[in-house]
Amino acid sequence: MLYAKADQRVLGYLGRALSLELTAVQQYSTQARLVAAWGLTEAAEKLGHEATEEMEHADRIIGRMLALGVAPNASQLRPAMLGRNLYEVLVNNHAFEQELVRLYTDATRHCAAKGDHDSRIFFEALLKEEMQHAEELSRWIQTLSEPGHVPVARDTNTGVTF
């Protein structure tokens, strides 16, 4: 039996983080398959890479939970957010990344206030990476929104080019 040696709010943040990171793995993996079906090979590869990065985050969270003496437990995965075209997929992903940024910001602040240096550093590293993901998504969305953007594919279901 494991013995928890951490602040209960820190454990709560870790549990929510694990649920969200595993949701992100499911979401990005599903989206990679979806956009591949649309013929967007490069976008599918990028989304597949994101799924791998989010799985690495989940793995780190599991390691942290075990180090703190608790058994990892992702409470519930959310359904994957898709979209009718690449633009919508990316907008959904950006919103999701912003949720992760808020969670890690709150967790970092709590740990700083409690003087939990190790957990603060742990959450700060995840925060930095999720902020980078959000920024990359913003740039990708902007590229698709620019006037003169040359569409790379046409969604046969909706007729939307992107």
Give CA–CA dist 73/62, Å, rounded.
9
User: Which pLDDT score is estimated for 107?
Assistant: 98
Per-residue model confidence as pLDDT tens digits over 73-129: 887 899 999 999 999 999 999 999 999 999 999 999 999 999 999 999 999 999 999
- Long-range (24+ apart) CB contacts under 8 A made by 130-134 are 130/97, 130/100, 130/101, 130/104, 131/101, 133/50, 133/53, 133/97, 133/100, 134/94, 134/97, 134/98, 134/101
Residue 1 pLDDT class (50, 70, 90 cuts): very low
Per-residue model confidence as pLDDT tens digits over 23-77: 999 999 999 999 999 999 999 999 999 999 999 999 999 999 999 999 998 878 9
Task: Tell which residue, 15, 98, 108, 93, has the closest CA to residue 50.
Answer: 93
DSSP conformation letters of 66-91: HHTT-------PPPPP--SSHHHHHH
Residue 158 has pLDDT above 80, yes or no: no
Q: Which pair of tokens denotes residue 54?
A: 């989010």
Answer yes or no: are the C-beta atoms of 73 and 15 closer than 8 Å: yes
Q: Report all structural domains of the chain as residue ranges with CATH numbers, in order of start.
A: 8-145 (1.20.1260.10)
